[in-house]
Chains A and B, each alone.
Chain A
Amino acid sequence: MRIQFRCNGADVQVEVEPDTRVIDLLREHLGLTGTKEGCGRGECGACTILLDGVPVNACLLLAGKIADREIVTIEGVAGADGSLHPIQEAFLDVGAVQCGFCTPGMILSAKALLDENRTPGVEEVEEALSGNLCRCTGYGKIVDGVLEASRRLTEEPDRGGE
């Protein structure tokens, strides 16, 4: 079947099988391999993308469900000129990345939070990241990264889009 949707600001039309998952659509059809598949059953959050602005698991999403809707993947987070998003900068600066496999999902969950609430507390950050597992167990630095991104976005409100 043929579906169309917006992906990272661009219109996309693609032919998919009815049981194609969005994680496979992104990685195999569109070559957007920044979205990672960890568990494939909605437990780890590595495949987190934004669907109409809210975080969802791309491994639990059939392609038919994004028809005529808008998604953002990790490839759509940086600026068009390649400049990093403040969340990406903050993750690098505080050392929130170890092996990096959970990072795209963490950044998209963080982006969904900060787009809604520029100044979350620690508990709100932990809640927003509760569906993203890090097996390097670097949660402390990841939470620090989101809080640092919050500070930068507050100081420079014209950065980070939305």
Chain B
Amino acid sequence: MKYLKPRSIGEAVDLLASSQGMVLAGGTDACVYMAEGICSPEALIDISDLDALKGIETVVVEAGEETVRIGACTTLAEIAASELLPNCLRQGAHAVGSPQIRNLGTIGGNVCNASPCGDTLAPLLTLDARLVLRSTDGTRIVASSDFFTGPKQTVMESHEILEAIEFPAAFRGKASAFRMIGNRKGQAISQVNAAVCVTVDSGTIADVRVAVGSVAPIPLRLAKLEEFLPGRAIADVDPNEIREPVIEGIRPIDDVRSTATYRQEVTVSLVFDALRACAVQVAGEGAGP
């Protein structure tokens, strides 16, 4: 095996195209896969030191739309600490692994690993995030809602590298929250997770995005709930009334971490809790500085 450290993203995509290599970001998943023999690449292409793939910035893209751009190799610790990012994404990044894992692991790695329980995935869906994929053919942009196709499966092709994650800067002005439940508070894998991002006008929900993870083969937006909630007072949302629209959207299973029945009921509670956290944020803003 070779260990390759390209000096630019251009060199990285060239190396990927010309080798049977595996792209290495933080390595926190890759090391486990290699140790367990799940993969044994001929080369590792370590992109984690590329400055162009690190950091969070606001840029203006086409049509004057302000966009937040997160380099794919920005660590989960940096995401969790960044005041430039919405609460749901910061909280989702903080929910991954442990401090040690968050210091190594990257948001791009969490996305490309595409585990149904990845804690940054539901937040990214609620932010209408787009994924910037780079290859020797150029760049293409895929909506996060089209990216995941199954457990550990995405639309990415073997010669592509995730370069950045973008979302409209307008989402920073919305209230948002992430909730997960695991076996313990720290260092636990989500049995269910949920993210909510909401626009509230005079106490009434104007527009809302809700996404959940670990309750289907891919992270999902809850379309029925997103249709149901607008027009309701955010402070008065009742867990019983959101139960049907939440359950209708999910397909939980029994597995090593939890049961379908438990996941179903907990999804309702987590979505409710995240909505309530958003209500608290909105009330705090209304109260003034």
Please report A residues at the B interface, Cβ cutoff 8 Å.
Answer: 1, 17-19, 21, 40-43, 45, 48, 51, 54-57, 59-62, 64-65, 67, 109, 112, 126-128, 130-133
Contacts and interface: CB of A to CB of B under 8 A. Distances in A.
Interface residues of B, number: 25
Contact of B187 (A60, A64, A65, A130): A130
B186 A57 contact: no
A65 B44 CA distance: 11
A51 B49 CA distance: 14
A131 B97 contact: yes
B31 A60 contact: yes
Interface string B1-34: 1110100000000000000000010011001101
Contacts, number: 87
Nearest to B46: A64
B46 A48 contact: no
Most chain B CB neighbours (cut-off 10 Å) among A40, A62, A127, A133:
A62
B98 A131 contact: yes
Nearest to B75: A54
4 A-B pairs closest in CB distance = A131-B98, A130-B186, A18-B3, A64-B3
A42 B100 contact: yes
A57 B104 contact: yes
Given A65-B46, A130-B187, A42 B5 contact: no
9 contacts: A21-B31, A42-B28, A60-B28, A62-B27, A64-B5, A67-B5, A130-B187, A131-B101, A131-B187
Contact of A131 (B5, B35, B99): B99
A131 B44 CA distance: 27
A105 to B, nearest CB: 9
A64 B5 CA distance: 9
Contacts of B27: 60-62, 65
Contacts of B98: 42, 45, 57, 130-132
Most chain A CB neighbours (cut-off 10 Å) among B1, B44, B77, B104:
B104
Nearest to B44: A18
B1 A18 contact: yes
B180 to A, nearest CB: 14
B269 interface: no
Interface in B68-124: 77, 97-101, 103-104
Nearest to A54: B103
B190 interface: no
A65 B96 CA distance: 21
Given A54-B77, A62-B44, A64-B5, A131 B31 contact: no
Given A62-B3, A65-B27, A55 B44 contact: no
A43 to B, nearest CB: 7
Contacts of A132: 98
Interface string B166-208: 0000000000000000000111000000000000000000000
